[in-house]
Amino acid sequence: MYEPLFNYIERYARAGIADGEKDIIRSAFELKRLSKKQYFSEEGKVCLYTGFILKGAFRQYSVDDSGMEHILQLAIENWWIVDRQSYINQTPSAYFIEAWEDAEVLILPRAKLDVILTIPAIQSMFWQMSENNHIAFQKRVDDTISLNAVKRYENFERLYPQIVQRFPQHQIASYLGIARETLSRIRRPSSR
């Protein structure tokens, strides 16, 4: 059950994990199952866990004054889900994180974070993650201010083909910051 996590850590930390360290990790993470549409965390509540997705798909979104949802992140297997701001500072979250398919997640409570950070491979993995995350967000901002709807979608499709398969179109549209009708038209054969 923990294997995908161990693999992930070793890949990103570019270092092995000792058996003793694996025990620490096993005692820090816990398995949680969520069914479709169940919340991993909610707006107004503290995000209690960092989750490593073993199975399933999630979306993280905010809801504006007019009730419109804006999708900030879509995630599938081997991705992490968490509202860092809320999780780290234990403050109320501005986002919902919702299972979009029945899911299995390894969850890490905030208090256990400091424990596993004593493991060098974990530290180095988190640095790397933080780095990658930064780069991805920077790229997303760059794309959003530079490209029109068509190119943003083509880009997204190229980068995350699996995501496109597993989420409905109107959620992809929301992620890209365009109306669902616009995405529907973009996907129409004539324009591609």
Partner DNA sequence: ATCCGATTGTGACATTTGTCATCGTTTCAG
Partner DNA sequence: CTGAAACGATGACAAATGTCACAATCGGAT
The site for a copy of itself (CB under 8 A) is made up of 62, 64, 68, 70-72, 84-85, 88, 130-131, 133-135, 137-138, 140-142, 144-146, 174-177
Contacts of 133 (CB under 8 A, 6+ apart): none
Residue 76 or 176 having the CB closest to a copy of itself: 176
Write down the least CB distance from residue 2 to DNA, Å. Answer: 29
Out of DNA, a copy of itself, none, which partner does residue 134 contact, by CB within 5 to 8 A per kind? a copy of itself
Out of DNA, a copy of itself, none, which partner does residue 85 contact, by CB within 5 to 8 A per kind? a copy of itself
Q: Exactly one of 150, 155, 157, 160 binds DNA (CB under 7 A); which one?
A: 150
Residue 35 or 85 having the CB closest to a copy of itself: 85
Q: Looking at residue 57, what DSSP letter applies?
A: -
Q: Exactly one of 32, 129, 149, 166 binds DNA (CB under 7 A); which one?
A: 149
Give the neighbor-by-neighbor strand order of the sheet with 49-55: 30-34, 103-109, 49-55, 80-81
The one segment of 20-28, 75-83, 123-131, 166-174 that binds DNA by CB under 7 A: 166-174
Contacts of 120 (CB under 8 A, 6+ apart): 13, 15
User: Mapping DSSP to helix (H, G, I), strand (E, B) and coil, where does residue 74 land?
Assistant: strand
Binding site for DNA (CB under 7 A): 148-150, 168-171, 177-182, 184-185, 187-188
